[in-house]
Amino acid sequence: MSVKTIEQLIEAKDYMKVKEVLSEMNEVDVAEILKPCDPHMTLLLFRMLPKDLAAEVFARFTPEQQLDIINSVTNRELAGILDELFFDDMIDLIEEMPANVVNKILLHTDAEKRALINEFLRYPEDSAGSIMTIEYVELKKDMTVKESMDHIKEIGLNKETIYTCYVTDQNRILEGIVSLRTLVTTNESFKISDIMESDIIKVNTHADQEEAANIFRKYGFLALPVVDKENRLTGIITVDDIMDVISQEATEDFQKMAAMAPSDEEYLDASIWKLAKNRLPWLLVLMISATFTGRIMGRYEDVLISVAVLGTFIPMLMDTGGNAGNQSSTLVIRGLATGDIELGDGLKILLKEFAVSFIVGLALALTNFVRLILIERVGILMSVTVSVTLLVTIVLSKLVGGILPIFAKRLKMDPAIMAGPLITTIVDALSLIAYFAIAKAMLGI
C-alpha cells in the first residue's frame, strides 16, 4: 500500500479503510506517513492504531511529535503506550523530554522500573549500557527444551528478541547462550545445560558502543549480552540498534574528518544556525593556523620577488602534499574505527607509509619534472627544485598523515580529528619550509 493511496483515503475521510490499511503496515512506514501531518491529524490517526503498533510508531516519532502526543492523550492512553514501549525506547524518550513531562511519565511507572530507569540514565553516552535493552529471554540450566519453548511462547511477544536466549544462574550471572534455532531443531527432552553455548562473547556496560559494533560485525550476531563488572547480565544489544550505531559512527567520523562538530541530525532537518555553529569553530582554528603558512611565505618575500616563478608552484606543492597526507590519515583513521588497525601498529604504519610515499612521490616527481621541462619550459635547476620538493613533501605528508591518528588515539583523543584539514595545514607549513630550503640550495639565492 503506497503513501499516496493512504493520503487519498485520508482526504476522502474513509477512516475505516485508513485504520485497516495502517494496521497492516510496518511501524516505520506508519511513522513516516504520520510525520508530515498536522498534530491534530497525527493524533487522530495515531489513536486508530492497535496498541502494540501504536507504541512502536510512537518510538519512531521525533521528540516534538512525542511531546505533542503525550500532551494530547489521556492518562490512561499514555499508560497504555508506556506499558508497550520497549525499555530502550523508554530511556530514549526520557532523555529527550522536558522535566515536567519526564515527571508525568515516571508517574506511570512503578518504583522498581523507576530505579532501573535511573540506573540506565547514568550509563555514559555512547556506551554499550546506553543502547542496551532489558527485554530478553532468560532461561535456566535445568530447564528442558520443551519447558523453554513453553516459556518463550508465553512471554515471547513482549521481548525485543527471542532468537537468542540467555542462561543465567540465581545471581543473574551469565552461564550460557541458546539460539531459538537450536531450541527448535533439538529434541524436546534435552536439557538447556546440554545444548547451550558456554563460550560466551559479551561486552561490558561501560564499553564504547563502537566496541560492541565491531563485535557484531566480526561475528554476525543478532544480539549481544551486556554484563556488569560482576559478570551479571544487565541487558542485551540487538542488531537493529547496532546498525544505527555503525551508520551513525561512520557519519560522525565523516563529519569530524571534514572539520565539523559531529551531529546526528539529518542535513535537511538541521537549521541553518545549527549547521553554521557546527562548521564555524574548526574553520576558525584552521584559518588562524593557516596564517602561519602565510608567515613562512612572508619570511621568504625577497626570494619570491627575485624568483617570482617559484610562487606559482606553491599551490601545486601544497595541494599535492595535502592530498597525499589525507589519503594516509583516512586509511589509518578508518582502520582504527573498524578495529583493523590497533594502537601497537604505529611502527608498521610508518614503514609502510614511507615505502608507499617513496614510490608515489617518485612517480609524481618524475611526471612533474618531464612536464616542467617539456611543457612549462622551465630551467633544469628550477625543475629539479620543484620535483625534489614534491618528493620530500609527499614523503613527509604521508608520514605525518599516517602517524598522527595513532598519536591522537594514544592521547585518548579522537583519531578522526587528525584528518585532511588539520593534516593539510601542518603539511602546508612543512612543504613550504622544504621548498624554500631546497630552492636556496639549488638556485643559490
* 337-356 binders of its own copies (CB under 8 A): 338, 340-341, 345, 348-349, 352, 355-356
Task: List CB contacts of 116: < 8 A, sequence separation 6 or more.
Answer: 87, 134
Q: Which is nearer to its own copies, 78 or 145 (CB)?
A: 145
The window from 6-14, 108-116, 225-233, 243-251 that contacts its own copies (CB under 8 A) reads: 243-251
Residue ranges in 400-439 that form contacts with its own copies under rule CB under 8 A: 420-421, 424-425, 428, 432
Residues 299-318 that bind its own copies (CB under 8 A): 301, 304-305, 308-309, 311-316, 318
Instruction: Give me the phi and psi of 66, to 5 degrees please.
Output: -60, -40
Stretch that binds its own copies, among 113-121, 228-236, 323-331, 405-413 (CB under 8 A): 323-331
SS3 225: strand
Residues in the interface with its own copies (CB under 8 A) total: 118
Candidates 83, 103, 198, 445; binder of its own copies (CB under 8 A) is 198
How do strand 233-238 and strand 137-139 relate by DSSP bridges? unpaired
Sheet containing 164-168: give its strands across.
137-139, 164-168, 174-179
Residue placing its CB nearer to its own copies in the complex, 1 or 173: 1
Q: Return the residues of window 12-41 that contact its own copies according to CB under 8 A.
A: 24-26, 28-29
**Segment near its own copies (CB under 8 A); pick from 36-44, 94-102, 105-113, 284-292:** 284-292
Q: H-type helices in 156-238, by residue range?
A: 180-185, 192-195, 209-219
At CB < 8 A and 24+ separation, what contacts does 263-270 make?
Answer: none
Should residue 100 be labelled a site residue for its own copies when binding is judged by CB under 8 A?
A: no
Q: Looking only at residues 154 through 173 of this chain, which bind its own copies when binding is defined by CB under 8 A? A: 156-157, 162-163
SS (H, E, C) 334-402: HHHHHCCCCHHHHHHHHHHHHHHHHHHHHHHHHHHHHHHHHHHCCCHHHHHHHHHHHHHHHHHHHHHHH
Using CB atoms within 10 Å of the CB of residue 151, give its burial: 0 to 12 exposed, 13 to 18 middle, 19+ buried: middle
Nearer to its own copies, 61 or 216 (CB): 216
Please count the residues of the chain.
445
- Closest by alpha carbon to 443, among 310, 313, 305, 316? 310
Residue of the chain from 267, 343, 344, 444 that contacts its own copies (CB under 8 A): 267
Per the CB < 8 A criterion, the answer to whether 406 and 345 are in contact is: yes
> Of these, 106, 334, 373, 417, which contacts its own copies (CB under 8 A)?
334
81, 131, 237, 260: which one contacts its own copies (CB under 8 A)? 260
Residues within window 215-234 making contact with its own copies, judged by CB under 8 A: 216-222
Among 102, 239, 417, 442, binds its own copies (CB under 8 A): 239
Footprint of its own copies on residues 357-396 (CB under 8 A)? Answer: 359-360, 363-364, 367-368, 371, 376, 390, 394
Instruction: Give me the 80-99 binding string for its own copies, x by CB under 8 A, dash otherwise.
Output: --------------------
DSSP code of residue 127: B
Q: Which stretch binds its own copies (CB under 8 A): 8-16, 82-90, 333-341, 404-412?
A: 333-341
- Long-range contacts of residues 247-256, Cβ cutoff 8 Å, at least 24 apart: 249/209, 249/210, 249/213, 249/337, 250/337, 252/416, 253/333, 253/334, 253/337, 253/416, 256/414, 256/416, 256/417, 256/419
Q: How far is the CB of 376 from its own copies (least distance, A)?
A: 8
